[in-house]
Structure 1
Amino acid sequence: MTVLVVGVPEGEELERLRSRIQRNPHFQVISHARTPDVALAHARVLLPDITVLTLAGGFRDDPAALGIFHGVRALDPPSGVVLRTRADAAPGDLDGFTVEGAVHIVELVGQAAVGAEGRDEGSAGAQLVHSAVGGSLRSRRERRAQAAGRGRRPG
């Protein structure tokens, strides 16, 4: 499966992410982009199976990232999406996007990541990318329980 990485600057973080993804022989990072216009151009030409989109917060804070999300989901065939965001910055506005099918959230905690599943729980590709980016799938109930324990309103 081909993977487009978006929103990670050149350097050590990008190389670590690329290495984790490609550790699994089923995945090949075919490109990466930092800016929305380049990301969408790459996506239209390369038609990646999966787009790994790194967010600083949520889509309300980053309308350009929302444009990338809608752009890769509108491809034919649509790209699956793994949304990477910091656990302390993962607002509830992301939860609504997981109902779109092969869309998954991975919350980064330091260098580790903890994922939350999308509606398409049987998606082997998305589960493998979760493993590749250091995440694991958890049920929505487990996420809500954890959020309630931290005093956050669950999404």
Structure 2
Amino acid sequence: MKISRGMENLFNNQIAMEASASNYYLSMASWSEVTGYEGAASFLYQQADEERQHMLKIVHYLNNLGVQAKIPSIREPASNFSSLESVFKAALKSEQSVTQAINKMVDVAQKEKDHSSYTFLQWFVTEQVQEETKFETILQKFDLIGRDKIAINEIDRQLGAMASQATNAA
């Protein structure tokens, strides 16, 4: 099975995007841990691992087609954040960018009648709906619970619980 050069480039760009997202979450987790947000740190370390798994999923897909995946160098992500809320606003924005890229890939796969890539990408389409919803829900907590120290502590506690649930489910 072969894919077009254009589709191959889109997949390689997505590998770079997933790797970059993984590093970005790692940076967010590190900031959270140093700042005292242990729950957020646990949650964000898991997100970093998840993005790396997404990257590997694409690497294996290309390699299984006989196309060697390009492993990109990654530029240093932002590492200073003004607040826990700003971390999650940045995370949502990052997920929205990934969604746009995935949707573009789906459009190209449809246009080229690349049924294999189209089918492969459907998992990512579903995943991105879940990811955006997850971060939108977290951001809603700032409006619902508040932004004072007690509220932020509660949100951090809830993020830690979400990380624990994900670990137990795995």
Same fold (TM over 0.5): no
Q: Structure 1 or 2: larger strand share?
A: 1
Q: TM-score, normalised by structure 2?
A: 0.28
Q: Structure 1 or 2: larger helix share?
A: 2
Bigger Rg, which one: 2
